[in-house]
Amino acid sequence: MPRRRREGGTARGGGEKRAYDCYRRRRRRAADLPKGPTLTDTFPRPEWLETARFYEVYPQSFADSNGDGIGDIPGITAHLDYIRDLGCNALWINPCFDSPFKDAGYDVRDYLKVAPRYGTNDDLIALFDAAHRRGMHVLLDLVPGHTSEEHRWFDISGRAERNEYSDRYIWTDTWLSDGGGLPFIGGEAPRDGAYIINFFKCQPALNYGFARVDRPWQQTTDSPAAQATRQAMIDVMRFWIGQGCDGFRVDMANSLVKHDDDGKAETIRAWRQMLGTIKSEYPQTAFVSEWGVPDQSLKAGFDMDFYLDWSWERNGYNRLCRDTPAALDAEHDRSYFSARGGGSVHGFLDQYLPQYERTRDKGYFCLLTCNHDTPRLAPRLSERELAVAYAMILTMPGVPFLYYGDEIGMRYRVLPTKEGGYTRTGTRTPMQWGDGANLGFSSADPADLYLPVDPAPDAPTVRSQSERADSLYHWVRAVLALRDAHRALDAGAAFDVVAAPEDGRLFAYLRTAADGGERLLVAVNPGLSAESCTLPDHATSDGAPTMVLTRGDAVLDGESLTLGAQSVAVIAV
């Protein structure tokens, strides 16, 4: 029989009290920092982000420590050495708060309590402590735009009589309302009104106000209700920082204020208030936004923004990694990393470079191998194609994010929806650790697993990949070790394009350390023919360019580099 965990966890018991005491001390140390940010304030950027390398963990699918078929927090803690030895020194954990899991945890029922299926608050505090002892940082996933319909706030808000939570959510003033152009649900609460939702029916929108008010029931962004919502979210962040959390990835960060303009002026103002308050108290707390527009998100106070896969716009990241509407369609894929894609890197650069140039001194625009919302690159891309892709993604400016299992080439699979995952479900399957039952993920009966493991005889595992010297796993370790060892690959190190021919596949760029003391040329060729480029004008101090890391065929001939098909070279110049 699988062992049972303690349910829940007290807010101030055991390790939580120790973390709360630490939280109080940290607040006292920050007491003399400025409060009340204005639009001209510059928020502190945590120093540790400059050398951070993140690993995203989908908690229900990473490691099951108690044999119930669902991954959990003790399972993550037990594998911290694996993550560290892989070369990542920071984690982003998808939502682990109490939830009915109608949207895989992005429907939060209690922001201050770990979901019992993952463990307790004490388990999460133990994870923070274990990570910190290893020199690692941990970000939690914050969902500020909506809660579950089962949240206590929403239950009280839906009562007929006025109360302190009546305006915590966006309610119309009559059950016959049209919602003002926003999706709404009616007929489910005693009060005479319908509630606005963000996505699913179970996700009522929190009230951050309206930038443009055109209905009597809409409130401004400066209303007491909107201010109370901001304060509630500040309190949530303070609580977890006090327990040892190092920051947050913020879900749909650009969607808080309704009817905002294209520039997101009011949403930016709301975030500057919230993040300014937290950063004035905890300057080393880090925030990364699901926004995809760094001009806006970094102005809002975030330290990092993701370059998101917006396939409906065929944006730069999409053209780099996933230029096909079908997750498994390798034949028609025209992405840069597809060996037969045929295109140059300009589909990516033409959009990336203007954004990078406008924001490079304001924060980090971050690339990711994949995430929980996006089809994995495998099996559409082969292991050789993945190696070229990861070499570039993990050495570009900004802070890199590696999705769990991408280091071994875990595959996207077409599966029935689970907990609101729909087409995303196939990216959320259990981590493949080794041989035996459930590929080492869980001791549970296969029928009880959160999702089925890959049944293919050649399913990649950590064990099989670690035993093969030329595997994707060892290549990812080598690239991350390179980034760790060289300041020219730090998040804010300079970036200059050296070669990006319009009619070729090769892409070469120079990374230069902040002190100018080290320069690395990174060159990738995802194509099927050899291509060459000229090295930058001046060489290293000893007068000779030096190969630092290669995969495939790479030849230095004087001031010229020739890369064979699907090859990578990193050169000190």
What is the Cα–Cα distance from 241 to 249, expressed in whole angstroms? 13
The rounded distance, in Å, linking the Cα atoms of 307 and 291 is 8
- Count of CB atoms situated within 10 Å of the CB of 118: 25
pLDDT of residue 538: 64
Place of tokens 């969902």: 143
DSSP bridge pairs for 563: 531, 554
Q: What is the pTM of this model?
A: 0.93
What are the pLDDT tens digits along the chain (573 aa)? 333 332 333 333 343 343 334 433 333 333 333 344 555 567 889 999 999 999 999 999 999 999 999 999 999 999 999 999 999 999 999 999 999 999 999 999 999 999 999 999 999 999 999 999 999 999 999 999 999 999 999 999 999 999 999 999 999 999 888 899 999 999 999 999 999 999 999 999 999 999 999 999 999 999 999 999 999 999 999 999 999 999 999 999 999 999 999 999 999 999 999 999 999 999 999 999 999 999 999 999 999 999 998 866 779 999 999 998 899 999 999 999 999 987 899 999 999 999 999 999 999 999 999 999 999 999 999 999 999 999 999 999 999 999 999 999 999 999 999 999 999 999 999 999 998 899 999 999 999 999 999 999 999 999 999 999 999 999 999 999 999 999 999 999 999 999 999 999 999 999 999 999 899 999 999 999 999 999 998 655 456 899 999 999 999 998 899 999 999 999 999
Q: How far apart are CA 139 and CA 241, in angstroms?
A: 10
Report pLDDT for 319: 93
User: Which three-class secondary structure string do you get for 417-437?
Assistant: CCCCCHHHHHHCCCCCCCCCH
Length of the chain measured in residues = 573
**Tokens 């909107």 belong to residue:** 226
Contact 174, 149 (CB under 8 A): no
Give the separation between CA 447 and CA 535, rounded to whole angstroms.
Answer: 56
Q: Partners of 507 in the beta sheet?
A: 524
What is residue 470's predicted lDDT score, i.e. its pLDDT?
97
For CA atoms 395, 312, 180, 143, give the dihedral sign. negative
The confidence score (pLDDT) of residue 40 equals 53
Crossing angle for the helix pair 265-281 and 224-243, nearest 10 degrees? 40
Q: Are 5 and 116 in contact (CB under 8 A)?
A: yes
Question: In this predicted structure, what is the pLDDT of residue 436?
Answer: 87
What's the rounded Cα separation, in Å, for the pair 573 and 220?
Answer: 56
Whole-number CA gyration radius for the chain: 24
The reported pLDDT for the residue numbered 25 is 37
Residue 547: CA atoms inside 13 Å, Cβ hemisphere, count?
Answer: 16
